[in-house]
Chains A and B, each alone.
Chain A
Amino acid sequence: MKIPRKKWNPKAPFPPLNADETYIFFISVTEKEKDIDTFLTSMSHGEKERARKYRFKKDKNRYIVARGMLRRILGGFLCVSASNISFTYNHYGRPLLNPDIHKTPLEFNLSYSDDGIIIGITFNRKIGVDIETLDRDVKELVTISKNFFTENECNNICNTPIKEQNLLFLKYWVRKEAYIKAVGKGLSIPLHSFEILLNAEQPLKFLTSEHHDPQLDWNMIEFEPRKGFLSAIAFTGEEHSISIFEESTRLEQGSEYCLKYLKTCKP
């Protein structure tokens, strides 16, 4: 399939997000650090407090860029200013649009790792995203797999040549994270209660009925949003298209976003 490319000016209205679409944005922290003062003005008192508590500038900046861009993007789709976006949090700490303020079926999820941030936006379906740096050297990955993954997942990792184990572990990890984030309960869902099927039509299977809703139809896609990063998106629902946007280098001069590629998912 040929991948179409598009550009638009973010000062103009955001491109329409239809009910059958999901947009994923990749953001580089270092490329947006110059906008930190602007991002701070859009943040709530609670977010500024949280930013203040980080001990290292790199952690603080990543948080501010992630929150600032999330507000900017959500504001763009909801046609409100970034500072008027109101968040609430579920029992597990997952941020959600405040339903008392925003009457919208828009759903989102955010993840960051090192210099990379991804934000997924969609309508009327559960969505979870995760990103990891591909050079993350997972210490004791076999022990983690034995303790927290399913027996099959663990065996697959252990039976893989050692130099390929790290990548295989990360492939399982980003998918598992994307799924538990989409459900919204984080690590309270035991990672061994569902199995990731890497090369099957069905993306996962539940090994226990607890924690999972068997009525929901789940799909997952793994992708590299930028060289050096591995991501996965987990979502419910019917056939729809997924677009991954990355700011083009020309954004700094011409304020343009670039549609990196378009992938149609047909569950």
Chain B
Amino acid sequence: MTREEIRQAVVDIIEELAPDEDVSNLDNAVRIREQIELDSMDFLDIIMELRKQYSVQVPEDDYPKLGTLDGCMDYLEPLMKDK
């Protein structure tokens, strides 16, 4: 997957989890939780969906790296390049 495809995959998961939130034009550089209301349980849902849909395992120590969409793309790119 390309970076843009990874971004869209993460946004799709968020949209599925929080259908009431407006996920269009999320700023890649700003923390996701500072733009839309996601709590810790929602965050674990995202981790679970990445595991379920793309077989990506994210260890707890790396959770802070997924705070922004830029961070998600940087972290997931090597893990999802063959997906």
A149-189 residues with Cβ-Cβ distance < 8 A to B are 173, 177, 186-189
A187 contacts B48, C-beta separation under 8 Å: no
Are A92 and B64 in contact, with the CB atoms below 8 A? yes
A205 CB within 8 Å of chain B: no
Question: B44 and A187: CB pair below 8 A?
Answer: yes
Chain A: minimal CB distance from B25 (Å): 9
Determine if B35 and A54 form an interchain contact, defined as CB atoms under 8 angstroms apart. yes
Contact A55 B48 (CB under 8 A): no
* Range for the number of chain A residues in contact with chain B: 20 to 34
A-B contact count (CB 8 A): 54
Contacts of B45 in A (CB 8 A): 139-140, 144
With contacts A140-B45, A187-B44, A187-B60 known, is A53 near B39, CB below 8 A? no
CB distance from B62 to the nearest CB of A (A): 9
Q: Taking A144-B41, A186-B40 as contacts, is the C-beta distance between A55 and B60 under 8 angstroms?
A: no
Chain B hits for A147, CB < 8 A:
44, 48, 51
CB contact under 8 A between A50 and B41, given known A92-B64, A147-B48: no
Please tell me if A223 contacts chain B, counting CB pairs below 8 Å.
no
Q: How far is the CA of A55 from the CA of B67 in the complex (A)?
A: 17
Would you call A188 and B34 a contact (CB within 8 A)?
no
Does B40 contact A148, Cβ atoms closer than 8 Å? no
Contact, CB under 8 Å: B22 / A56: yes
Q: Mark A51-69, 1 if CB is under 8 A from B, else 0.
A: 0011110110010000000
Q: In this assembly, does B82 line the interface, its C-beta being within 8 Å of a C-beta of chain A?
A: no
Within the complex, the shortest CB–CB distance from A49 to chain B, in Å, comes to: 9
B21 contacts A by Cβ under 8 Å = yes
Bound-complex Cα distance A55 to B37 (A): 9
Bits for B43-56, please: 1 = Cβ < 8 Å to A, else 0. Answer: 11100100100000
Which of A53, A58, A173, A189 is in CB contact (< 8 Å) with B41?
A: A173
Cα A50 to Cα B37 with chains together (Å)? 12
Contact across chains for B48 and A59 when beta carbons are under 8 A apart:
no
Query: Cβ of A148: which chain B residues have Cβ within 8 Å of it?
Result: 44
- Asked if B36 is at the interface (CB within 8 A of a chain A CB), the reply is yes
The 4 closest A-B CB pairs, nearest first, are A59-B37, A190-B60, A55-B22, A187-B63
Which chain A residues have a beta carbon within 8 Å of chain B's beta carbons? Answer: 50, 53-56, 58-59, 62, 91-93, 113, 138-140, 143-144, 147-148, 173, 177, 186-190
21 A–B contact pairs at CB < 8 A? A50-B34, A53-B30, A53-B34, A54-B35, A54-B37, A55-B22, A55-B36, A56-B22, A59-B36, A59-B37, A92-B64, A93-B67, A113-B39, A140-B45, A144-B48, A147-B51, A148-B44, A186-B40, A187-B43, A188-B60, A190-B60
